[in-house]
Structure 1
């Protein structure tokens, strides 16, 4: 995108932001994306109609849990990892991953919590609480009476949390 096109797009976003309703209702699509109309560049050719997705596009993001992925590890160690992530969230640092990457974000004695970005673009989550919440859901839904757990939580916006045996 050339600088002149970028300027036009940024100007259009500013105009759209000023035109948004002052209530809490923002025009969205059925998928929860903010709708932006056609932007016209000079001398009159439309650039494109876009849907802008934000990390916070929906508070009710759907997810799927699979309790058959990974190797078993101790539930108590994963709980400790969840607490570690909650403490990390207090630092106001945000989890970031490049496209198609995974990272171990908490690991103790082989009990690993990982998060993966399955998108074709970089991903910045709103908070470490998002990863901790994913691991907690896996704990809630996949823990065995034996004290072991494993699983994967996939979000419909193409990122996931994995819990299981890993290298620390």
Structure 2
């Protein structure tokens, strides 16, 4: 089963979850989960490349969604009022109503710090409320660039919805801010040389994983 979300309007003005049963069935990705016992499932987005065009399905991260829309319509960003060709404009970090239960900094390879920061900024820019399929142990990769990924995992037996995508970015930020030295690996003088990893468990039985991955 795929997790799914819907983008419409001016990216877009509305972003909401739709039942995954509304999409064709698909096998879960065969990649190893973020931790033993977790599985990774594709996230499928229903999007429009043109304001008055048909809906298309794109499976992957938010970066892959934008790549597909740019290919389908080279004027996509202009049509939807998105000026920056690379990323959405950053918004203020989420003032989340959730509480972090713990941060675990072991069990993963280090992601790049700068790429993780860009992923968080991108998530903070996406409007709407995401949903993830039933768990426990159901993870979807919401961001991946420069071999640095952010996963959102649902440990509830039912579909889990969040207030916003910035809630995922908010949780991922705890790996960057953690005082646990195991969450960070500073081996150079620039942000590109620095690493970060971790799993942030949040009340409500969901968590966010930052780790190295093949994008």
TM-score (norm 2): 0.48
**RMSD after superposition:** 1.6
Q: CA deviation at 1:60?
A: 5.3
In the alignment, the residues of structure 1 paired with residue 97 and residue 129 of structure 2 have an alpha-carbon distance, to the nearest angstrom, of 17
1:116 aligns with 2:163: no
1:165 aligns with 2:212: yes
Q: Which has the larger radius of gyration?
A: 1
1:106 maps to which residue? 143
Give every structure 1 segment of 4 or more consecutive aligned residues whose post-TM-superposition deviation is greater than 3 Å: none
1:69 aligns with 2:69: no
The answer to whether the 8 A contact 2:125-2:166 is kept is no
Matches within 5 A, 1:1-16: none
Matches within 5 A, 1:13-28: none
In the alignment, the residues of structure 1 paired with residue 134 and residue 214 of structure 2 have an alpha-carbon distance, to the nearest angstrom, of 22
More helix per residue:
1
In the alignment, the residues of structure 1 paired with residue 121 and residue 97 of structure 2 have an alpha-carbon distance, to the nearest angstrom, of 22
Q: Which runs of 5+ in 2 are unaligned?
A: 1-95, 188-193
Matches within 5 A, 1:124-163: 124-141=161-178, 142-146=183-187, 147-163=194-210
TM-score (norm 1): 0.60
